[in-house]
């Protein structure tokens, strides 16, 4: 995929408005941009609204990623960062707006997305096309969010005891 193709709506959407063309590490740029968008626009919304936005973004990103994978005959393209966006938003859905928790979510999500341990790696290897592009990041985001939620809960509980 070339930068000139940003004129195509599917490329524009899948690359998170061109973020996926930044180098190096377009996935990290996409994740960081998603965290900023969440902080500025989504963090103040109720969790149900955030979840609905994640679902709608997931469906649309799956569709455009599928189109791009078919067009270029690839299983994934580094410029597609819509998967990082939805994964990051899912990770942040579980936490309260706190800069330290958001930074921890970004770090843990990137670790899981890059290393792809266990079922994340399995999804990445076994599920192909647009759905495969999306699913490993969705799982990484859900695991990140659940981990940070439980860690925060444990810390609050421990600190609240006299």
pLDDT of residue 67: 95
Taking the C-alpha atoms of residue 109 and residue 8, their distance in angstroms, rounded to an integer, is 29
Q: What is the mean pLDDT of residues 15-21?
A: 97
More confident residue, 2 or 116: 116
pLDDT digits (tens, 9 = 90+) for 23-69: 999 999 999 999 999 999 999 999 999 999 999 999 999 999 999 99
DSSP string, 114-162: HH--HHHHHHHHH--HHHHHHHHHHHHHHHHHHHHHHHHHHHHHHHH--
Taking the C-alpha atoms of residue 77 and residue 86, their distance in angstroms, rounded to an integer, is 16
Q: What value does the CA radius of gyration of the chain take, rounded to a whole number of Å?
A: 16
> Based on the number of CB atoms within 10 Å of its own CB, is 75 exposed (0-12), middle (13-18) or buried (19 or more)?
middle
Q: Which residue range forms the structural domain that includes residue 14?
A: 3-160
- Asked if residue 50 has a cis previous peptide bond (ω within 30° of 0), the answer is no
> Based on the number of CB atoms within 10 Å of its own CB, is 78 exposed (0-12), middle (13-18) or buried (19 or more)?
middle
Residue written as tokens 């994740």? Answer: 31
pLDDT of residue 4: 84
Tally of domains in the chain = 1
Question: If you ran DSSP here, which 8-state letter would residue 42 be given?
Answer: I
More confident residue, 69 or 161: 69
Confidence of residue 151 (pLDDT cuts 50, 70, 90): very high
């Amino acid at each position: 995929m070339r930068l000139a193709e940003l004129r195509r709506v599917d490329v524009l959407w899948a690359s998170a408005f061109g973020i996926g063309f930044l180098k190096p590490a377009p996935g990290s740029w996409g994740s960081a941009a998603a965290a900023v968008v969440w902080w500025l626009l989504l963090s103040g919304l109720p969790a149900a609204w955030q979840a609905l936005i994640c679902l709608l973004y997931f469906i649309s990103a799956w569709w455009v990623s599928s189109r791009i994978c078919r067009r270029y005959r690839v299983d994934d393209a580094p410029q597609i960062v819509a998967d990082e966006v939805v994964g990051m938003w899912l990770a942040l859905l579980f936490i309260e707006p706190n800069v330290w928790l958001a930074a921890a979510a970004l770090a843990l999500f990137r670790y899981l997305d890059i290393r792809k341990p266990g079922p994340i790696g399995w999804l990445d290897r076994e599920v192909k096309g647009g759905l495969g592009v999306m699913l490993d990041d969705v799982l990484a985001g859900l695991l990140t969010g659940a981990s940070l939620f439980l860690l925060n809960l444990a810390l609050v509980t421990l600190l609240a005891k006299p």
